[in-house]
Amino acid sequence: MALLYSAPCYSLASASKLKLKNPNNLLSKTNSSTNVHLRGLPSYGNGNVYCSLIPKIVKTGVKIVEAPVVSLIDGLQPAIFTPPEGDLKKEDFPPDFLFGASTSALQTEGRGDEGGRGKSTWDFMIQASQGKKAVDSYNLFKEDVKILKETGLNTYRFSIAWPRILPNGTLESGVNQEGIDFYNKFIDELIANGITPIITLFHFDLPVLLQNQFYGFMRPNIVEHFKEFADLCFEKFGDRVKYWGTINEPYVFGSYGYKMGLPGDLKNDPLGPFIATHHIILAHAAAAKLYKEKYQKSQGGKIGISLPCKWYMPHSADPKDFAATKMQLDFQLGWYMDPLTRGEYPESMRKNVKGLPEFTPSEKELVKDAFDYIGINYYTSRYVKHTCTVDAMSGVINIKYAEQTADDEGNVVGPQAKGQEDIYVHPDGLKNLLLYVKTEYGNPEVYVTENGMPDKPTITGSVNDMIAQGKTAELEAAFYDDYRIQHAHDHLVAVREAIKEGANVKGYVVWSLMDNMEVGAGYDVRFGLNYTDYYDNHKRYPKKSAKWFANFLQAENAKGSNN
């Protein structure tokens, strides 16, 4: 049997395994009972030489059992498909496991002035003309659903823009029917294509009037406003949406937004993040409890929150580094997880933060257990070194912490990501974080709601123009993202291992479906499985990583696909 695909050329990893310097020697090592696995070599290197062997191999009767993915777009070198070594299979995960991709309204929708949408706090930060369109999913959402389907993903995590539904933030100030119609069409399109929506209600883009009139999350009335917005969404979309996420990465927008003065002109208040976070937790809990009491029985969905956390490891064997590591986990994850599971902030925070708000007895009751699942957004890890001080008057030992990228022997956390220097790739961190959530917080149902790999290729024009100008190497660097494949593979292995050790993980959602407007970095940093052509109407093209996912998730359909 010979399985051949219409690709113009291949490369043979089997040749490299046989350590053949001269590809022609491959023939002398094979006979008609040999299976030749057409797996690629990591670089284009000898591809053309090896591919010329294929007809000769076929003549010898050797079985060619697997073909690589080849050209992604005409004009580029064929991509040699080198699945990472290992035995990862979709079947390693539970049958109902969600495999998805994630985006947010702010980063994809664009068209902020259309469809009756009000202004969000971010509109004033994104002044670039491209920013106004993001990746134009407002118009191209059907295309997004199509690429999800082609990638074999069964889940899409995206967010609703609060100002598209309530342009001035409050229910009282009026509902934008056009916004509701838009999300109805979007959700229907997903469902019609067999894709499960996970909807985040708030992913950074606060209606600007709520910021200006009520100081956003700095005042308690945000809790009611968020609850009424959530109520409206449950009522309008909950018949079809079975996974709700209230708030994305509260740690990030709570800290950056309310300490560092972003977005807009917020005050730099050292207690700001603690006050804002208190209201974020109450807002989440109010919406979650509402869902559970008013909608869950009839709609049958689940509600959770997406928390970002690095994995933290002690910098040395010093017990104080262990204590500092725990404290750092408390200050990032425990800040939310302790209230949600125990009804109060972690002890380390209560001891160390003067002015930390307290939950009243009725708030404790509201907050505790106000979730069905926890979303974890994981990107990187750090070592933690203690900085210990002793209060001379009281003798109280005060352990603080400092993040480090290497341990005391100089071992670095992992290789740095290409597009973002602060991401050190460390898949084991994900496994350990999932196991930490399991043991520390009573093994809740968990979804990895974000995990991904940035890069920063040099792109100076549209795909078509760059090909016409012979700038194919730059495009190949963007399209043939083997490191992103390796990254997804290794993190999926980490999830699989965590599940084996008892973690209750039910889904893995990669950031991101396509390159989009990266918060704080703009359009140069790309996280997508699919390439976005910012110079040609936001056209989407699959990268090699999208093909890898397709291959992994629907092996039969994707094999040999070259389009």
Contact set with ligand NOJ (CB under 6 A):
104, 107, 248-249, 377, 450, 511, 518-519, 527
Please state the closest distance from residue 527 (CB atom) to ligand NOJ, in A: 6
Please state the closest distance from residue 483 (CB atom) to ligand NOJ, in A: 16
Nearer to ligand NOJ, 105 or 223 (CB): 105
List, edge to edge, every strand of the sheet that includes 381-390: 311-314, 381-390, 397-404
Nearer to ligand NOJ, 78 or 507 (CB): 507
222-255 burial string, b = 16+ CB within 10 Å, else e? bbebbbbbbbbbbebbbebbebbbbbbbbbebbb
Give the residue nearest to ligand NOJ (CB).
249
**Closest by CA position to 229, among listed 284, 166, 281:** 166
Tally of residues, the chain: 563
Question: Is 401 in contact with 384 (CB distance < 8 Å)?
Answer: yes
Q: Which helix (H) or strand (E) covers residue 201, if one does? A: strand 196-202
Look up tokens 């079947």; give the residue.
Answer: 91
- 271 burial (CB, 10 Å; 0-12 / 13-18 / 19+) is middle
Please state the closest distance from residue 377 (CB atom) to ligand NOJ, in A: 6
Instruction: Specify the DSSP class assigned to residue 116.
Output: T
Instruction: Specify the DSSP class assigned to residue 260.
Output: S
Please state the closest distance from residue 497 (CB atom) to ligand NOJ, in A: 23
Look up tokens 């397709």; give the residue.
Answer: 550
Please state the closest distance from residue 255 (CB atom) to ligand NOJ, in A: 13
Question: Is 550 in contact with 152 (CB distance < 8 Å)?
Answer: yes
Please state the closest distance from residue 543 (CB atom) to ligand NOJ, in A: 17
Please state the closest distance from residue 104 (CB atom) to ligand NOJ, in A: 5
Question: Is 160 in contact with 203 (CB distance < 8 Å)?
Answer: no
Q: Compute the half-sphere exposure of residue 182: CA atoms within 13 Å on the CB side of its CA.
A: 23
In one-letter notation, the amino acid at residue 13 is A
Nearer to ligand NOJ, 154 or 377 (CB): 377
**Closest by CA position to 382, among listed 489, 309, 287:** 309
Please state the closest distance from residue 200 (CB atom) to ligand NOJ, in A: 9
The Cα–Cα gap between 263 and 497 comes to 39
Nearer to ligand NOJ, 107 or 277 (CB): 107
Catalytic residues, by residue number, are 249, 450
Please state the closest distance from residue 461 (CB atom) to ligand NOJ, in A: 24
Report in angstroms the alpha-carbon separations of 476 from 97, 415, 471: 33, 22, 9
Parallel, antiparallel or unpaired: strands 35-37 and 63-66: parallel
Nearer to ligand NOJ, 77 or 451 (CB): 451
DSSP E strands in 18-80: the ranges are 35-37, 63-66
- The token pair that represents 354 in the structure block: 């003067």
CA dihedral 26, 31, 33, 37 (to 10 degrees): 10
The Cα–Cα gap between 513 and 534 comes to 15
Helix axes 137-150, 177-192, angle to 10 degrees: 10
CA 14 to chain centre: 34
Instruction: Specify the DSSP class assigned to residue 188.
Output: H
